[in-house]
């Protein structure tokens, strides 16, 4: 590029990636910081996106046999204490409720009153409280498997927060299941990992690597944690969803046992799995560009915005009618399990400003309709994946007839683009020196591909993981699922390695 182009977002990704992220969230009207420390306000455009994601995931959970239920927001401290690793993982970031009313204190200022006998924490996750209930629901093998999901808000007190990526309160779903055998529970854990990967790739257009976490990265209390990992445009990894095989840890802690067919009393095998509003952070960092948000059509709050160009001398009523008819025709078309969603933006704003507001919001496509477009029975069509300079006139009927195909094409292109980006920045590394260079920009002889996913043989030593984290801020993102894992030699220790694992810096 010979001259610098003006972008809608300042700074650009290249100039200051973290600040670019904040500016995209703001410009796209997705969310904002709230006056309550660490909590966000999810704005209508961001919430509509979340609703679409919820709706698809919810269908996937239901079609794999899960039912939704709702459990209390509060958890008695004593429950948390029952599982040692679990309490260790969450005690340092709990909102604690200690009183149940306010009364006027000195100078009329309200102060907490009515101290609770046992403080409650606001759920950071619900294994303990749901386990307590499962213990009542499960008596016999006939009650199994028990497959429950909950959509809820959770709270983990975070000191450094970033919209969607890390907030004190966030929205999520948490699946909790109990099974008669270890094999069934492990199968469930992997099945839900597949559901998450399917959702990420086929709906969010976010390519992911499915794999297993190393011991140090497991969920507190789990025997095994699986994850989907995706690459952001700064080449860091984002963990987009996790599923946990909990073994009998939580069933022993909450006494979830059952009588099997032979009449033996056995502890159930449990799992849990979740994705959260963090996914939206991942979506932004996968697809957004220097002009703002880019939303894949399948989960977009609206697929098309119609921008009527109303000049004083034009027949405004006729243009609006022309727009309304296009909207009506498109909205009868089925797309992605629902119907096409169209908005008409009739705000009193200059045309360019109006168009750019939608580009920044990441709507997949838009049309401008002025007097001349109407006269020639056409529309002026823009696609978010192509950029505003590639807008073009197209006959109205052709536009309507091909619209679904265009949405499919946009969805497909976004996935392929993200896929290509990840492939470009995933490198097999066979020497420790190269590994250090890869994650140290100033030492890297290939700075243009510096710092993506390093696929390297590794012998699985926790001390080594600590050292890499300390030296480079790099961790094992996962031990990826592979059809044919090839053994090799650990690049750090020379010990045998069963397969390459994925190393990266991460969110």
Q: List contacts with a second copy (CB under 8 A).
A: 32, 34-36, 39-44, 47-48, 50-51, 67-77, 79-81, 87, 91-103, 109-112, 114, 119-122, 129, 132-133, 136, 142, 148, 152-153, 155, 157, 169, 171, 347-348
Nearer residue to a second copy within complex by CB, 132 or 212: 132
Distance (Å, rounded) from C-alpha 434 to C-alpha 201?
31
Beta strand 269-276 with 338-339: parallel, antiparallel or unpaired? unpaired
How is residue 289 annotated by DSSP? Answer: B
Nearer residue to a second copy within complex by CB, 23 or 277: 277
Q: Which residues make Cβ contacts (< 8 Å) with residue 155, sequence separation at least 6?
A: 94, 95, 122, 123, 124, 168, 169
**Least distance from a second copy to the Cβ atom of residue 121, Å:** 7
CA distances from 35 to 41, 44, 73 (A): 9, 18, 22
**Least distance from a second copy to the Cβ atom of residue 137, Å:** 8
Q: Assess contact for 284 and 343: CB atoms under 8 A.
A: no
Q: Assess contact for 129 and 123: CB atoms under 8 A.
A: yes
**Least distance from a second copy to the Cβ atom of residue 256, Å:** 14
Q: Assess contact for 124 and 154: CB atoms under 8 A.
A: yes
Q: What is the residue whose two structure tokens read 């306000």? A: 41
**Least distance from a second copy to the Cβ atom of residue 348, Å:** 7
Structure tokens at 61: 């959970």
CA distances from 62 to 174, 384, 387, 471 (A): 13, 33, 38, 44
Nearer residue to a second copy within complex by CB, 44 or 494: 44
Closest C-alpha to 256, from 239, 245, 244, 268: 268
Distance (Å, rounded) from C-alpha 3 to C-alpha 82?
63
For residue 394, which phi and psi values (nearest 5 degrees)?
-155, 145
**Least distance from a second copy to the Cβ atom of residue 404, Å:** 22
Nearer residue to a second copy within complex by CB, 153 or 440: 153
**Least distance from a second copy to the Cβ atom of residue 122, Å:** 7
Nearer residue to a second copy within complex by CB, 39 or 394: 39
**Least distance from a second copy to the Cβ atom of residue 372, Å:** 28
Nearer residue to a second copy within complex by CB, 41 or 482: 41
Nearer residue to a second copy within complex by CB, 361 or 500: 361
Distance (Å, rounded) from C-alpha 500 to C-alpha 70?
41
**Least distance from a second copy to the Cβ atom of residue 244, Å:** 22
- Tell how far CA 26 is from the center of its chain: 18
Closest C-alpha to 308, from 320, 326, 318: 320
Asked if the peptide bond before residue 473 counts as cis, ω within 30 degrees of 0, the response is no
Nearer residue to a second copy within complex by CB, 324 or 417: 324
Nearer residue to a second copy within complex by CB, 261 or 483: 261
**Least distance from a second copy to the Cβ atom of residue 168, Å:** 8
Three-class SS state of 30? coil
**Least distance from a second copy to the Cβ atom of residue 164, Å:** 12
Nearer residue to a second copy within complex by CB, 171 or 295: 171
How is residue 303 annotated by DSSP? Answer: S
Distance (Å, rounded) from C-alpha 272 to C-alpha 419?
29
Q: Which residues make Cβ contacts (< 8 Å) with residue 250, sequence separation at least 6?
A: 83, 86, 127, 128, 131, 221, 256, 270
Structure tokens at 162: 């970033």
């Amino acid at each position: 590029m010979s001259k610098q182009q003006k972008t809608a977002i300042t700074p650009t990704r290249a100039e200051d990636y973290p600040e670019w992220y904040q500016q995209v969230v703001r410009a796209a009207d997705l969310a904002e910081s709230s006056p309550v420390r660490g909590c966000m306000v999810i704005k209508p455009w961001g919430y509509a996106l979340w609703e679409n994601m919820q709706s698809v995931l919810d269908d996937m959970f239901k079609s794999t046999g899960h039912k939704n239920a709702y459990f209390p927001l509060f958890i008695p401290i004593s429950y948390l204490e029952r599982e040692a690793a679990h309490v260790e993982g969450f005690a340092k970031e709990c909102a604690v409720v200690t009183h149940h009313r306010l009364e006027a204190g000195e100078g009329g200022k309200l102060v907490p009153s009515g101290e609770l006998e046992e403080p409650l924490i606001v759920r950071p996750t619900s294994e303990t409280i749901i386990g307590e209930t499962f213990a009542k629901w499960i008596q016999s093998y006939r009650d199994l498997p028990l497959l429950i999901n909950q959509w809820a808000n959770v709270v983990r007190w975070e000191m450094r927060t970033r919209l969607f990526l890390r907030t004190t309160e966030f929205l999520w779903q948490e699946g909790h299941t109990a099974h008669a055998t270890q094999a069934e529970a492990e199968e469930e854990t992997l099945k839900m990992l597949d559901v998450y990967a399917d959702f990420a790739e086929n709906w969010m257009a976010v390519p992911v690597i499915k794999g297993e976490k190393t011991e140090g990265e497991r969920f507190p209390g789990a025997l095994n944690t699986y994850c989907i990992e995706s690459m952001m445009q700064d080449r860091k990894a984002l963990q987009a969803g996790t599923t946990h095989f909990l073994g009998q840890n939580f069933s022993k802690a909450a006494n979830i046992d059952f009588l099997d067919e032979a009449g033996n009393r056995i502890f159930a095998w449990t799992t849990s799995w979740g994705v959260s509003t963090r996914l939206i952070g991942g979506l932004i960092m996968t697809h957004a560009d220097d002009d703002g948000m880019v939303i894949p059509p399948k989960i977009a709050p609206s697929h098309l915005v119609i921008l009527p160009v109303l000049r004083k001398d034009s027949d405004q009523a006729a243009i609006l009618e022309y727009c309304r008819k296009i909207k009506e025709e498109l909205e009868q078309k089925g797309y992605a399990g629902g119907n096409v969603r169209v908005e008409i933006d009739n705000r009193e704003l200059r045309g360019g400003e109006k168009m750019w507001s939608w580009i920044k919001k990441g709507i997949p496509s838009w049309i401008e309709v002025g007097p001349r477009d109407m006269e020639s029975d056409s529309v002026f069509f823009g696609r978010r994946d192509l950029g505003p300079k590639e807008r073009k006139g197209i006959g109205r009927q052709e536009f309507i007839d091909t619209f679904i195909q265009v949405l499919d094409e946009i969805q497909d292109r976004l996935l392929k683009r993200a896929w290509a980006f990840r492939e470009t920045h995933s490198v097999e590394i066979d020497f420790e020196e190269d590994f250090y260079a890869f994650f140290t920009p100033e030492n890297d002889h290939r700075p243009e591909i510096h710092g993506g996913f390093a696929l390297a043989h590794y012998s699985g030593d926790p001390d080594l993981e600590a050292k890499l984290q300390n030296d480079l801020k790099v961790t094992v993102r996962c031990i990826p699922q592979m059809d044919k894992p090839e053994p090799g030699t650990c690049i750090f220790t020379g010990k045998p390695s069963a397969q390459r694992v994925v190393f990266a810096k991460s969110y």
